[in-house]
A and B are shown apart, each in its own frame.
Chain A
Amino acid sequence: MEHSAIVELIRTTVTGILGHGRFEMREDLTALDVEGWDSLTHMSIISALEAAFNIKFKLREINKLRNMGSLIELIESKLA
């Protein structure tokens, strides 16, 4: 999968869970910057991403996510 396609699928997946697309896909974007992306929606977003990309995250990998950049990187490593 192309980098740009991965980024786009993350964007649409997150938008689907949060019910809005009011965020920018910057590498340094964190959950705190996004309305409604909290402790509770986080797990739903993770599950939705697993389904969308047909991958499975490890709990430790989820713990290490710090921003959008690390999320994209993690998904790319899973797809590689």
Chain B
Amino acid sequence: MIRAGMDDLSTVLAESLRRHSARNAIRIGSVFHTYKELGEAVDQVRIHVRHATGDQVIGLMAHDHLLTYAAILALWAEGRAYLPLAPGSPIARNEEVLEQAGVRTVLSCCDDPGLRGATLVRIDGELPSMEMPVQHFPGTTPAYLLYTSGSTGKPKGVPISRAAVSAFVVAFDALGLDLGPDDRCLQMFELTFDLSVMSYLVPFLKGACVYTIPRNEIKYTYIHELLEDQQLTIALMVPSILNFLRPYFDEIQCPSLRANLFCGEALPLDLVDEWQASVPNARILNVYGPTEHTIFCTSLEYRRQGGNKAINGILAIGKPMEGTTVAIIDGEGNAVPNGIPGELYLAGAQATAGYWNDPGRNRESFVRIPNLPQDVRYYRTGDRCVQDEDGDLLFQGRVDHQVKVQGFRVELAEVEHHAKGLLSRRNMVVVAVRNASGNTELVLVTEGAEANDRELVRGLKDILPGYMVPSRVLHMATLPLNANGKIDRPAVAAWAGNSVE
């Protein structure tokens, strides 16, 4: 097992592959592959990589295939990093990412259209086998490079080092979920989303089996079948999955599940309260963290007996995990005491070294705090939080989703919280749009069939000051989600803006 700052990622992975060779490592489609098969595929891809390039960061077309996962482990074994590309993404988007990253080689196990400026290397061909020794690499070596959407419209690259990945594994172990070879673990994420890293890496390190979701399946219904029919024991999900399944909770019963983690979005407490009966034996954890701080770094255990902390109906995100330090920073850039809201800053071994080739953005995002020790570099999350007396963090929304209406501050999450209470079970968001006269207006956008708008607005006027009440209600058949499965707020706002004009 990885111990803090000691063992190299590839060494412990190689040991796990060897020790668990007869066990199932991964299920792709309905086919299981053993650790032995995974190990052989890793050796095969290592040879392809050595032949192809000496580059540090290499693109990887993330097909549903054993070779895709083998390629990740192979690149790590060779001291390289992977830049995942989704086969379903527009070619232009993948090319933009490759160009920004300066990546010239892309591994793939399938037929893919060509990508401008990059060489596609097929990794499915058999090559004469070679001796493949385990090598050690410095902790600062990148393990993966992910691109996330940037507020400026240009995606930003986040490199995560081997040491940061190891630090995550150590912190994850400290949660005490105690994964082992008998666990069956859900992997519901695109490899371009860093929650996928936990979903395959932790099981691989423990000899557990990873259950993937075929690209052409409806995700939430497939997850339901996996949970019940394959009797999964560990599942990390985004809360939106529960929103989709909510009308069917009474048909879902997964007694095998022993740990259910949620990450990636604010987790509404009432949603978990309703869901918990479907997973009667699971510890439910709400975990939080930005890509920049390696997968997730705070955790809160949901209490079935009640008394869960929440703000605006959003379950608390808990305490920093092992190795992570948090600070709440006010508008002047100083750390504030518990109980005072501010922007959440993170420091510790899981931190990225900084955005890829982007010194300007790094100066803005990675800072030292005047009234805290100067040898610690903090990352600004842009998330507005408050830390209570017990040290639990409560998420209050994005610092940049705060809007002003007629000079008044409005937290969109607060309006949404109250609207949700009136809309019962309907997906919705509140966005700020600029109306014809140039003022900011709040628009409530609901998903699906016609709501009784007038009643809804009247209900909100009963609860909120006038400036917080959306001036209009619009309906979308489906709220658009971004590549990570979260509601795509900018897209809703753009659509609402056009409708308002």
Contact = CB atoms under 8 A, between A and B. Distances in A.
25 contacts: A16-B477, A17-B477, A17-B478, A18-B477, A19-B477, A39-B218, A39-B220, A40-B478, A40-B480, A41-B477, A43-B220, A43-B244, A43-B478, A44-B478, A47-B448, A48-B448, A51-B449, A58-B248, A59-B251, A59-B252, A62-B221, A63-B218, A63-B222, A63-B224, A63-B225
A48 B478 CA distance: 12
B244 A59 contact: no
Interface of A: 16-19, 32, 39-44, 47-48, 51, 58-60, 62-63
B216 interface: yes
A59 B228 CA distance: 12
Given A47-B448, A51-B449, A59-B245, A32 B221 contact: no
A47 B477 CA distance: 11
Contacts of B251: 58-60
Contact of A63 (B221, B447, B448, B478): B221
Given A39-B218, A41-B477, A44-B477, A59 B224 contact: yes
A41 B222 contact: no
Main secondary structure of the interface of A (DSSP, over half): helix
Greatest chain B CB density within 10 A among A17, A18, A40, A44 is at: A40
A49 B272 CA distance: 27
Interface string B290-313: 000000000000000000000000
Interface of B: 216, 218-222, 224-225, 244-245, 247-248, 251-252, 447-449, 477-478, 480-481
A59 B225 CA distance: 9
Contacts of A58: 248, 251
A59 B248 contact: yes
A29 B251 CA distance: 28
B388 to A, nearest CB: 36
Contacts of A42: 218
Contacts of A17: 477-478
A43 B244 CA distance: 7
Given A44-B477, A51-B449, A58-B251, A32 B222 contact: no
A42 B220 CA distance: 11
A59 B249 CA distance: 9
Contacts of A32: 216
Nearest to A30: B216
Contacts of B225: 63
**Shortest beta-carbon contacts, A-B, top 10:** A59-B248, A63-B221, A44-B478, A59-B251, A17-B477, A41-B478, A40-B478, A39-B218, A39-B219, A42-B218
A18 to B, nearest CB: 8
Nearest to B224: A59
B491 to A, nearest CB: 12
Nearest to B216: A32
Given A32-B216, A63-B222, A63-B224, A44 B480 contact: no
A60 B224 CA distance: 9
Given A19-B477, A44-B477, A59-B224, 7 more contacts: A41-B477, A41-B478, A42-B218, A44-B448, A47-B449, A63-B218, A63-B224
B221 A40 contact: no
A59 B221 contact: yes
Contacts of B218: 39, 42, 62-63
Contacts of A51: 449
A41 B449 CA distance: 13
Contacts of B224: 59, 63
A64 B478 CA distance: 22
A44 B248 CA distance: 14
Nearest to A44: B478
Contacts of B447: 44
A32 B245 CA distance: 22
A66 to B, nearest CB: 11
A27 to B, nearest CB: 19
A29 B480 CA distance: 24
B214 to A, nearest CB: 11
* Residue among A32, A39, A60 with the highest chain B CB neighbour number at 10 A: A39
B451 to A, nearest CB: 13
Nearest to B217: A39
A17 to B, nearest CB: 5
B277 to A, nearest CB: 15
Contacts of B480: 40
Contacts of B252: 59
Contacts of B219: 39
Which of B245, B248, B480, B481 has the largest number of chain A CB atoms within 10 A? B248
A47 B218 CA distance: 15
A19 to B, nearest CB: 7
Contacts of A47: 247, 448-449
